[in-house]
Amino acid sequence: MSRIGNAPITIAAGVSVHAGKDAVTVEGPEGKVVLPFPSFISIEQEGKVLFVKNSSLTRESAALQGLMRACIANAVAGTGKKWERRLRVVGTGYKVKLQGDDLIFTVGFSHPVVFKKVEGVSFIVEGSSTVVVKGVDKQLVGEVAYKIKRLRKPDPYKGKGIRYEGEQLKLKPGKKAKAAGPVK
C-alpha cells in the first residue's frame, strides 16, 4: 500500500482542480497544468481536499498512485506560485544575457551559445551570471534547467561552467598536487 499515495492534497486558494475520466486539470493564477493518469486510478474531491484512490492492489499500481499524487500536488503548488530553479555561470569571461526570449551564453567556446525559449518556461537573468528558470510544471522547470547546465558542465579541476545555485563541487587535485604526494 502506498503511504504517499494515500495522503490528502490540500487545494490552495485560487486554484481549481477538475478531474476527468483519464486526466486531471489544475488551473490557478499562474497557469494551467493537464496531467493524464491510468484507468485504475481515480481522483476524489471533498471540498478543498483531493484524494488519489487506487482500485488495483499490485506494487506497480501503488507506485503509480504515489507518483500521481506527487505530480498533482506539484501542479497545485506550481499553479499557485511558480516553481523556479536558479543557475550560476562561473568562470572568467563567462556570462549570460537575455536577448528577446532566448538566452545567449558566453562560456569559453569560440562562439556564443544560444538557448531557445521553451514553451511553458520563462527566463530571468540577474546580473551577468545568474539565470532563473520559472514555470508552472515542476518537471519541465527541472528538465530545462538541466539542459542549460549541460551546455557547459562544471570543470572538475577549476570549477568553471554552469551549475545550480548552492551546488558544492568537489574539485580534483591538479598534476602538481598529485606529484607532490601526501603532505606530512
Question: So where are the chain's domains?
Answer: 3-80, 83-164
Fold agreement between 3-80 and 83-164? yes
- Domain covering 3-80 assigned CATH 3.90.930.12 in the classification: yes
Q: What is the pLDDT of residue 103?
A: 96
Instruction: Decide: 128 and 96 in contact? Cβ < 8 Å.
Output: yes
d(C-alpha 74, C-alpha 80), whole Å: 10
Q: Which CATH architecture has domain 83-164?
A: Alpha-Beta Complex (3.90)
Note the maximum CA span of the chain. Answer: 70
Q: What is the pLDDT of residue 165?
A: 93
Instruction: Decide: 17 and 25 in contact? Cβ < 8 Å.
Output: yes
Q: What is the pLDDT of residue 2?
A: 59
Q: What is the pLDDT of residues 26-82, one digit of tens each?
A: 999 999 999 998 888 888 889 899 999 888 888 888 888 899 999 999 999 999 999
